[in-house]
Structure 1
Amino acid sequence: RMAESARNSAPNRAVISAACQERGIVLASHDDATSGHVDEAIEQGVRVAEFPTTEEAARASKEAGMGVLMGAPNVMRGASHSGNVSARTLASDGLLDILSSDYIPFSLIQSAFFLGDVVEGISLPQAVAMVSKNPADAIGLTDRGVIGQGRRADLVRVRVDDHVPVVRTVWRQGSRVA
């Protein structure tokens, strides 16, 4: 099975990478562990490093200009559920750009408020950008991610109750939906 993977992986990745580049689809790597993995991702045109498993891979990705994406549940737990690098550590080291809800959707808001409150050097606006502006920018969605003229006006009103951020109102394209 490993031999089959070695034989098929590189050619299939090259075809997928070329097809994505032709269509303007942003590529993300997944679970890079070494700077060598990051070098391969760069060769394939990857622009987002999704869940790097080590600080080495996160740092190499950041230095290469990729957006570094980690799971918001990892921030809230203080550690990866699978023993990989902590998103909090990456945030503290300035190596975290984007947060994903991963397997707990409500963790996005919680993690943004947590990082803005607890991690030195990260303000609440910077943390909120990790769940709004930065992901939009990373995949070329220039009509969203910030409040501004000509933007979609996707907004969330949050109130902090007993140190827990709670979504109170949601607008999508300027219309209230919740």
Structure 2
Amino acid sequence: MSTKNAIVRDATERYLKERRESGESRGAFEAEIKRLGGDPRVETAVRRGSAPTEVATILGISETEETVIRARHMYDGDRLVQLADSYVPLDVADAAGIETPDSGRGGIISRMAEAGFAQTEVIEEVVQYPVTQVEADAFGVEIGSLLMQITHIAHTADGRVVEVTVHRPGPNWVLRFSTPLS
């Protein structure tokens, strides 16, 4: 597959501390876009609220329990390339101090690790979904066309889910994975 003008999301290394924090980056997205020669920018709105049913179930909380929600519009230059909503349990968010838009070098994963909630396993589920009006307006695509959704599920060593992020990348993304065979 041609990767010309594509954003290559490399799951092989994107969450490693040295990659997330390289060049004072504010997380995996910023480091990845810089590595590809782009100009990353993120607009973040932070609030408390309930998570969607599927996310609450993954977090192991009730649908009415509040989480910290970090809703992001992610850009390469002036081009919006991804929408991403992160849901974090209140106790984790409070301990990690991530209720400000700028979560600092390495992003919320680094803040969680510093607070004792180091992520040791990440599972990402990728599905196609029919675009709603929100994504159609954001990415300039037809309502109902198919885009990818990546649900990022982050676990600590004791198995607790401390973050669920629903990524909705726009068109022209390449997902790269590597699986050790031995």
TM-score interval, normalised by the smaller of the two chains: under 0.3
- TM-score, structure 1 as length reference: 0.26
Structure ranking higher on relative contact order (CA contacts 8 Å, 6+ apart) = 2
Structure number with the higher strand fraction is: 2
Whichever structure has more helix as a proportion of its residues is 1
Q: Structure 2 length as normaliser, TM-score?
A: 0.26
Point out the structure with max Rg over C-alpha.
1
